[in-house]
Structure 1
Amino acid sequence: MAEVDFERRLERLFAQSPDMPDAQAFAERVERRLDRGWNLRRWLIGAAGLAGGVVGASQLVMSNLFQRVESAEQSARVLSQGLARVTPTTDMVSALSGGYGLWIAVGLAFVTMGVFAARLVQEF
Structure 2
Amino acid sequence: MAEPDFEAQLSRMFAEAPSFPDAALFNAEVAAKLDRGWAMRRMFIGAAGVAAGVIAAFQILSTRFSSEVSQLSKTSSHSFETEINAGVAKLNSVLTTPASAEAVWLAAGLAVVAIAFFVTRAVEEF
TM-score (norm 1): 0.49
